[in-house]
């Protein structure tokens, strides 16, 4: 595949080495963040460097597949690629948590319409989840593989069921399976996730994705565990169950970001409701001032084809215009035939339609004064045709400013390494590490850094600020670089 900028293979690495901050601010950049899932199709250092050169900064490792040794190798390869490319990246470890997954299969098995398959606790095709067999009933529909697999339960025993294929289906190893319209009671969330959490802490992940999280208490239990381990890892709540949708406001409040997992939502809800649910979750995340990620089948056609379908382009356009912070590719980059082309297409679509983003400049009536300050900063910057640069210790004010999608984007500088990945998840925010011990010192160093790194050019106007969330005094400075 040719380099997006240079048109030749050698251009990939060269583009990745370009000074990141100069590139994104002087030449322009895609403000919607791009994320991809690692897997057999995208795993080597060379491939990851190419993904970085196309604008991908967020890399997901799915703990539902592979083992700790593989996850460790992938994490090391991502860090090696980031070092080679000369930029910061974000590592996300995706917990499998309470998901029910097909076990026992060594390879995919196909069934024709009318053929039956038996599941039990310990067989060739097993579901090692006793609670599943307590929940399922004759007549229930089993759904897997983002809805491609549909089986009707026709017989049930204490620890086994027989299901009939209502269409030609293929069961694949380790795929999650749900009972349409029902949720299987799972063991304690923290206990179910402890092994993967231990690995995530050991590998120094930036975030963990909380799969099948149902309420804010489960988020709290995971955060308490991480704090006890001395980890400042962020928590991404994956919304994919009816319980999560019902508790979305509290989940948004307690998490660091929210991911709309459309594949599993589509297995629990009628497909025609998924777009409405997506907009509802985006609204909840906006009100809570938390980054929102959309995943699953953004460019599903590109698993097997070199170009997306027209309807997929419309889908991604809709996500961009709704102001989502991150677009995440899953199967397209993990197992697809065209992983790099998928990233390039995602970038192209986002860049094309960001200009049509429906800017939302409203805040809830009970918002804090810092939200109103953030909106004022955005309005001031745009009235001056200026870019925004902010110094932040914890990212809170940067998050508030990014929520309003400022046209010129945001440079967010912080002295805290664990804050950099959180900034990377925010729409239009370019993270920058600066060593400073106070807000005043940080703002001064940020002003100097903009010029020293060539980010601010002659004639550029910047609105520089910091926000002391718990203090009554906020500072705003306007500077035109001569």
pLDDT in tens, 75-125: 999 999 999 999 899 999 999 877 788 888 888 899 999 999 999 888 778
Q: Do domains 28-97+194-354 and 101-179 have the same CATH topology?
A: no
Label residue 325 by pLDDT band (50, 70, 90).
very high
Amino acid 469: pLDDT: 59
Q: Which class does domain 101-179 fall in?
A: mainly beta
Q: What is the mean pLDDT of residues 178-197?
A: 86
Cα distances from 143 to residues 123, 155, 264, 265, 408, in angstroms, run 20, 17, 9, 11, 44
Cβ contact 386:408 at 8 Å: yes
CA–CA separation, 140 and 143 (whole Å): 10
Q: How many other β-carbons are positioned within 10 Å of the β-carbon of residue 410?
A: 28
Q: Which of 285, 270, 58, 80 is nearest to 181 (CA)?
A: 270
Amino acid 11: pLDDT: 52
Cβ contact 421:90 at 8 Å: yes
Compute, in degrees rounded to 10, the torsion defined by CA atoms 317, 323, 328, 331: -30
pLDDT, averaged across the chain: 89
Structure tokens at 92: 């996300």
Q: What is the mean pLDDT of residues 365-394?
A: 90
Q: Is 168 helix (H, G, I), strand (E, B) or coil?
A: coil
Task: Report DSSP state, residue 417.
Answer: G
Out of 160-169, 275-284, 321-330, which region has the weakest mean confidence (pLDDT)?
160-169
Amino acid 107: pLDDT: 87
Amino acid 146: pLDDT: 80
Amino acid 356: pLDDT: 66
Segment (H or E) for 314: helix 310-321
Q: Which of 238, 118, 127, 117 is nearest to 176 (CA)?
A: 127
Label residue 315 by pLDDT band (50, 70, 90).
very high
Label residue 186 by pLDDT band (50, 70, 90).
confident
pLDDT tens column, 328-353: 999 999 999 999 999 999 999 999 99
CA–CA separation, 205 and 162 (whole Å): 41
Percent pLDDT > 90 in the chain is 66
More confident residue, 380 or 6: 380
pLDDT tens column, 214-273: 999 999 999 999 999 999 999 999 999 999 999 999 999 999 999 999 988 988 899 999
More confident residue, 16 or 276: 276
Size (the chain), residues: 482
DSSP string over 94-152:
E--TT--B-BS-SS-EEE-TT-EEEEESSSSSB---HHHHHH--TT-EEEEGGGTEEEE
Structure tokens at 236: 């991404």
DSSP string over 372-394:
HHHHHHHHHHHHTT-EEEEE-SS
Strands 410-414 and 429-433: parallel
Segment (H or E) for 344: helix 339-353
Structure tokens at 120: 């039990």
The listed CATH number (3.50.50.60, 1.10.287.70, 3.10.20.10, 3.40.1380.20) that belongs to domain 369-481: 3.40.1380.20
Beta bridge partners of 179: 142
Structure tokens at 56: 């991908």
pLDDT tens column, 429-449: 999 999 998 888 999 999 999
Structure tokens at 45: 């250092």
Q: How many other β-carbons are positioned within 10 Å of the β-carbon of residue 311?
A: 9
Task: Return the domain boundaries, the chain.
Answer: 28-97+194-354, 101-179, 369-481
DSSP string over 44-66:
SHHHHHHHHHTTEEEEEEETTSS
Cβ contact 189:164 at 8 Å: no
Structure tokens at 331: 């199967």
Cβ contact 413:423 at 8 Å: no
Compute, in degrees rounded to 10, the torsion defined by CA atoms 366, 372, 373, 378: 140
Q: Is 363 helix (H, G, I), strand (E, B) or coil?
A: coil
The upper half-sphere exposure of residue 463, i.e. CA atoms within 13 Å in the direction of its Cβ, equals 24
CA–CA separation, 330 and 62 (whole Å): 9
pLDDT tens column, 141-162: 999 888 889 999 999 998 899 9
**What's the per-residue H, E or C state across 221-233?**
HHHHHHHHCCCCC
Q: Is 170 helix (H, G, I), strand (E, B) or coil?
A: strand
Phi and psi angles of residue 426, each rounded to the nearest 5 degrees, phi first: -90, 140
Q: Which class does domain 28-97+194-354 fall in?
A: alpha beta
pLDDT tens column, 8-64: 444 544 444 443 444 444 334 799 999 999 999 999 999 999 999 999 999 999 998
Segment (H or E) for 177: strand 177-179
Whether the per-residue pLDDT at 6 is higher than 50: the answer is: no
Strands 326-329 and 33-37: parallel
CA–CA separation, 201 and 47 (whole Å): 25
CA–CA separation, 277 and 332 (whole Å): 23
**Among all chains, which residue has been given the structure tokens 């002087």?**
26
Amino acid 310: pLDDT: 97
């Amino acid at each position: 595949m040719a380099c997006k900028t240079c048109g030749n293979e050698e251009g990939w690495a060269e583009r990745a080495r370009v000074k990141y901050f100069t590139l994104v601010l002087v030449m322009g950049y895609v403000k919607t963040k791009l994320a991809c899932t690692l897997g057999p199709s995208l795993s080597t250092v060379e491939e990851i460097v190419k993904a970085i050169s196309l604008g991908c900064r967020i890399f997901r490792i799915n703990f539902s597949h592979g083992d700790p040794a593989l996850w460790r190798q992938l994490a090391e390869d991502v860090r090696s690629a980031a070092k080679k490319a000369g930029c910061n990246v974000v590592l996300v470890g995706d917990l499998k948590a309470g998901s029910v997954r097909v076990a026992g299969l060594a390879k995919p098995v196909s069934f024709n319409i009318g053929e039956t398959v038996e599941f039990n606790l310990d067989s060739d095709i097993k579901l090692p989840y006793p609670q599943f067999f307590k929940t399922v009933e004759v007549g229930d529909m089993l759904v897997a593989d983002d809805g491609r697999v549909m089986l009707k339960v026709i017989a049930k025993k204490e620890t086994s069921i027989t299901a009939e294929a209502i269409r030609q289906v293929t069961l694949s190893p380790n795929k999650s399976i749900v009972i349409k319209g029902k949720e299987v009671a799972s063991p304690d969330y923290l206990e179910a996730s402890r092994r993967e959490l231990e690995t995530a802490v050991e590998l120094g992940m930036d975030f963990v994705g909380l799969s099948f999280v149902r309420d804010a208490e489960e988020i709290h239990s995971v955060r308490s565990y991480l704090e006890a381990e001395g980890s400042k890892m962020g928590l991404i709540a994956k919304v994919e169950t009816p319980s999560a949708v019902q508790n979305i406001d509290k989940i948004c409040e307690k998490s660091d970001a929210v991911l709309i997992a459309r594949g599993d939502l589509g297995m629990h809800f009628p497909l025609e409701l998924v777009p409405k649910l997506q907009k509802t979750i985006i609204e909840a995340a906006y009100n809570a001032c938390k980054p929102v990620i959309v995943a699953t089948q953004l460019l599903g056609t590109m698993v097997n084809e070199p170009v997306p379908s027209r309807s997929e382009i419309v889908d991604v356009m809709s996500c961009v215009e709704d102001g989502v912070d991150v677009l995440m590719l899953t199967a397209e980059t993990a197992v697809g035939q065209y992983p790099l082309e998928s990233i390039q297409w995602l970038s192209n679509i986002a860049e094309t339609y960001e200009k049509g983003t429906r800017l939302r400049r409203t805040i809830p009536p009970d918002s804090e004064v810092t939200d109103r300050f953030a909106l004022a900063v955005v309005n001031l910057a745009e009235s001056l045709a200026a870019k925004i640069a902010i110094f932040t210790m914890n990212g809170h004010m940067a998050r508030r400013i990014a929520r309003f999608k400022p046209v010129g984007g945001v440079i967010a500088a912080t002295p805290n390494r664990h804050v950099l990945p959180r900034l990377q998840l925010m729409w239009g925010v370019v993270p920058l590490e600066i060593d400073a011990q106070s807000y005043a010192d940080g703002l001064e160093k940020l002003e100097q850094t903009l010029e020293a790194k060539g980010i601010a050019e002659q004639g550029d106007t910047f609105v520089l600020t910091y926000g002391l969330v718990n203090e009554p005094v906020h500072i705003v400075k306007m500077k035109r670089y001569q």
